[in-house]
Amino acid sequence: MSRIIVTGAGGFIGHHLVKYLKAKGDYVIGIDIKYPGFERTSADEFYPWDLSSHNCILNDIDEVYHLAADMGGIGYIETNRAVIMRNNALININTLNKSMAKKFLFTSSACVYPQYLQDKPDVMGLKESDAFPADAEPGYGWEKLMMELLCKYYHEDYGIETRIARLHNIYGPLGTYEGGREKSPAALCRKVIEAKGEIEIWGDGNRTRSYCYIDDCIEGLYRLMQSNYRKPINIGSDRMVSINELADMIIKISGKKITKQYDLSKPQGVVGRNADIRKAKEILDWEPKVSLEEGLEKTYRWIEKRLSLAKK
């Protein structure tokens, strides 16, 4: 049995990770500013700490999965850059600086990749080496890239075993689907469920992304932690679809007849983004198993049930 800290344990990925580690028999300590939103935590201990002002100091810890972050969908990260950079820089430094664990895994983001490589819909998959010369996404992306470098330097200067996962659009049940911080799959599921005949798409629908289901993501994080690989590695899918295609998949799941309306004034992010996951396949023997269609079906049905219960 390992003693493991999961920061961000009240969030979407962190909550799933806690359940996964508990199922493997580990002793898990969750830390987050909030408890999970949709079901009770599985953690053996849970501390409701704000890591932007509270040092993460616990003894006899084998591993830290550091997921805590101030983040959300594109609408949130494009309009809260100062807040995000400040909060996440404090969270990251307080956690890594006081970590007494043997291994420390940081969840970075595809937002670290240069905007000049994501300026058209039909883009090549982003390789880990593409991060430099740097031109990260303003605010959130630069903060993630800085923390990647801090992990590298902490290993070089202090010998801490660090791991870095660059996550690409993780989605699935138990994630937020309203309120402004939801990601595009959950937002579109909610819109379709509530639609009376049409839905609003942010932008023209031609921008492209790849999406990775939560169960695949968690398996990738676990394999990375158990590996000896210290450099950043992509955890995501290499299947790229347009936002229009994503919306059409969800509409098909719903069985409804729905038209799409477009609002070009809303935040849209980079034009195209896809993941190159060859390193994950080679080093971790990992690749996504859940198809986008299957993952969207599960996500849609969970949100549909939640919204139905809310009306009762």
Q: Please tell me whether residues 137 and 251 are part of one structural domain.
A: no
Angle at 91 between CA 269 and CA 48, to 5 degrees: 110
Q: Please tell me whether residues 47 and 94 are part of one structural domain.
A: yes
85-96 core/surface letters (b: 16 or more CB in 10 A; e: else): bebbbbbbbbbb
Contacts of 26 (CB under 8 A, 6+ apart): 1, 2, 3, 4
- Name beta bridge partners: 213: 171
The pLDDT assigned to 100 comes to 72
The string of pLDDT tens digits covering residues 66-98 is 999 998 888 898 999 999 999 999 999 999 887
CA dist., res. 76 & res. 308, Å (int): 26
Q: What's the total number of domains in the chain?
A: 2
The pLDDT assigned to 310 comes to 85
Q: Please tell me whether residues 198 and 52 are part of one structural domain.
A: no
The pLDDT assigned to 54 comes to 81
CA dist., res. 276 & res. 210, Å (int): 10
The pLDDT assigned to 58 comes to 74
The torsion angle over the Cα atoms of residues 214, 244, 199 and 110, rounded to 10 degrees, is 40
CATH number, domain at 284?
3.40.50.720
Q: Please tell me whether residues 71 and 123 are part of one structural domain.
A: yes
The pLDDT assigned to 97 comes to 81
Q: Please tell me whether residues 116 and 257 are part of one structural domain.
A: no
Nearest Cα neighbor of 106 from 60, 156, 145 is 145
CA dist., res. 10 & res. 244, Å (int): 31
The string of pLDDT tens digits covering residues 294-308 is 999 999 999 999 999
The pLDDT assigned to 267 comes to 87
The pLDDT assigned to 175 comes to 95
179 found inside a domain: no
129 Cα distance to chain centroid: 20
Q: Which residue numbers in the chain have pLDDT < 70?
A: 56-57
Q: Both tokens of residue 263?
A: 């609002």
Asked whether 163 and 106 are in contact (CB, 8 A), the reply is yes
Which residues are annotated as catalytic? Answer: 140
DSSP state, residue 126: B
CATH number, domain at 196?
3.90.25.10
Give the domain range for residue 257: 184-206+241-270+299-311
The helix/strand/coil state of 254 is: helix
The pTM of the full predicted model, rounded to 2 decimals, is 0.96
Q: Please tell me whether residues 10 and 94 are part of one structural domain.
A: yes
Contacts of 161 (CB under 8 A, 6+ apart): 102, 103, 104, 155, 230
294 found inside a domain: no
Asked whether 3 and 59 are in contact (CB, 8 A), the reply is no
Distance between terminal CA atoms of the chain? 43
CB atoms within 10 A of CB 123: 16
Q: Please tell me whether residues 111 and 163 are part of one structural domain.
A: yes
The pLDDT assigned to 73 comes to 82
The pLDDT assigned to 72 comes to 85
